[in-house]
Amino acid sequence: MPAALTSLMGQGLPPEVPWVVFEYPLFLVNSDLTPLSQKMDQVIDRLLSWEPRTKTTGTIIQDPATVSGRDYEETYRNVQSLFLRNKWGDGTSITPPTTNHVNWVLSGTDHESTETVGGGSGAIMPKGGILTYEVLATCLAMAGGRPEHLPVLAAACESIISTDNLMFTSSMSAYPGILVNGPVAKQIRLSSGFGLFGPDPVRPAGTVIGLALWFVLQNVGGLTSGMGTIAQYGEMRHGCLCFAENEDALPSGWTSYAEDHYGRSRGSNSLTFFQIRGGGVRGFTHWGAGSEPSFEIEMLESFHRAASVIKTTPTSGVPSDLAGIQGMLLYPALVCNNMAGIGWDKEKIKKHLSEELFYLLDEVKHRSGILRAVEEKGLDIDNLPQRFSLYTDPERIRLVVAGGDHPSRAMWLPNLIEGGNLEIELPRNWADLLSEAENDLGAAPLDY
């Protein structure tokens, strides 16, 4: 569904629009505008003569679909084809969301199936489709989800109800992320360690919940690739990011992400929803050659490597936010404990890293628009600082203890926008759900 139509639907208009199509190059610098002149009669016709099919306001209800075949296998394949023809899937096999299956997934909430997630309009933008718990469970069922995944997915979706989701529509390929704090993570088999971003058959919750989240955004929100969203590369949208902080392995005296930034108490279950606005995921090597005279030397040299990955010259050559563009820094617990062992706490780590993050005027002067900007504003370039700090506020570096417990690698998620932190609401039958999961999947892993 083209972006314009999605956007109009999000404003509560009918799913139709009078349009005239112009190719992209028309809107670029020094473009040939002849196509616009040539099609003006069509434009005026749409302005003056077009009649919409929809004559009344109301709600368009989506009916179930029935697919048939000679046997179950053929019918199952036909379901896959239906979901792709309708642009409801993503190319992977989906679990057919039958009523029985969706009702099973719905046992993960005490809310009625017809209730809107979050209790308000339930609108997922930009298309403005209404997210009820039934639709939520449908998307989770498609992704292969189980009832115990529903509370985390519901909290994530509640974070995005009625937000404009503008970043997800743009070419920047912003993708969503979920960070979970609290014991619920291990209970539902959500990783805080090795293979953090998935896939992991022992800890499948992250992949499943992330995929379901994208189904909500795509199907209810209209963010269909190339149509409702012009994200050029999509980046981590396939499966999004959904992981937990490794709270049990935090260094002594360290507080969790939810404690630091949202005042949650240790042991409470909460979820931080975030977006990464283009920039993918950027790993860097933490450990050194092995010949360093001390761990501290190894660590200080590692910060150079971290900085080289985090540092990005802004488009104009001038940082748009002097405090620093927020990002999420993931270090495994083993590394954090080593750092803590030599007296480095979170604040010291962030402060030191922020001091490593700068660029020199000479690095960017001839490689960006800075000379044009200086001329436009009538400044003397010799009066500009020779060194620009990229992070005047170290708190813009958001540190999370997560990732496989190995000293080699760490991770930077750039251009972070946080969408808030919500409590994860567990249903009354939580213990029963976990017992059922143990029956089906075996004992939940306890290590991470």
Partner 1 sequence: MVKTTPTKGAESLTEITVLNPIGAHPIHHLFAKRLGNLDGKVIAQLAADPVKWQPHRTFPLIEDEIKKRYPTATFIPYADFPQGTDIGNEEVAVAVKARGADACIIGNAA
Residues 29-88 that bind partner 1 (CB under 8 A): 29, 31, 33, 36-37, 40, 43-44, 47-52, 54-72, 74-76, 79, 82, 88
Query: Does residue number 219 form part of the binding site for partner 1 (CB under 8 A)?
Result: yes
Instruction: Kindly tell me which of 90 and 148 has the beta carbon lying closer to partner 1.
Output: 90
Instruction: Kindly tell me which of 114 and 439 has the beta carbon lying closer to partner 1.
Output: 114
**At its nearest, how many Å lie between partner 1 and the CB of residue 277?**
15
Contact 182, 268 (CB under 8 A): yes
**At its nearest, how many Å lie between partner 1 and the CB of residue 200?**
25
Query: Does residue number 246 form part of the binding site for partner 1 (CB under 8 A)?
Result: no
| Per-residue contact string for residues 331-350; x = within reach of partner 1 by CB under 8 A | --------------------
| Per-residue contact string for residues 158-177; x = within reach of partner 1 by CB under 8 A | --------x-----------
Instruction: Kindly tell me which of 11 and 320 has the beta carbon lying closer to partner 1.
Output: 11
Q: State phi, psi for 201 to the nearest 5 degrees.
A: -70, -20
Q: DSSP letter at 36?
A: H
Of the ranges 10-18, 173-181, 275-283, 438-446, which one interacts with partner 1 (CB under 8 A)? 10-18
Question: Cα separations (Å) of 113 from 62, 116, 129?
Answer: 15, 8, 16
**At its nearest, how many Å lie between partner 1 and the CB of residue 64?**
5
User: Would you tell me how many other CB atoms lie within 10 Å of the CB of residue 311?
Assistant: 14
**At its nearest, how many Å lie between partner 1 and the CB of residue 63?**
6
* Residue 199, preceding peptide bond in cis (omega within 30° of 0): yes
Of the ranges 4-12, 191-199, 382-390, 428-436, which one interacts with partner 1 (CB under 8 A)? 4-12
What is the rounded CA–CA span in Å between residue 335 and residue 423?
29
Of the ranges 12-20, 182-190, 362-370, 422-430, which one interacts with partner 1 (CB under 8 A)? 12-20
What is the rounded CA–CA span in Å between residue 399 and residue 257?
7
Question: Cα separations (Å) of 234 from 90, 166, 237, 240, 374?
Answer: 12, 15, 6, 10, 35
Among residues 108, 109, 111, 132, which is the contact residue for partner 1, using CB under 8 A? Answer: 132
**At its nearest, how many Å lie between partner 1 and the CB of residue 4?**
10
91 Cβ neighbours under 8 A, 6+ residues apart: 84
Q: Which of residues 92-121 bind partner 1 (CB under 8 A)?
A: 96-100, 102
293 Cβ neighbours under 8 A, 6+ residues apart: none
Please name which of 305, 346, 350, 331 lies closest in space to residue 404, comparing C-alpha atoms: 331
The count of residues interacting with partner 1 (CB under 8 A) is 72
Of the ranges 212-220, 297-305, 310-318, 390-398, which one interacts with partner 1 (CB under 8 A)? 212-220
Contact 176, 217 (CB under 8 A): yes
Collapsed DSSP state (helix, strand, coil) of residue 389: strand
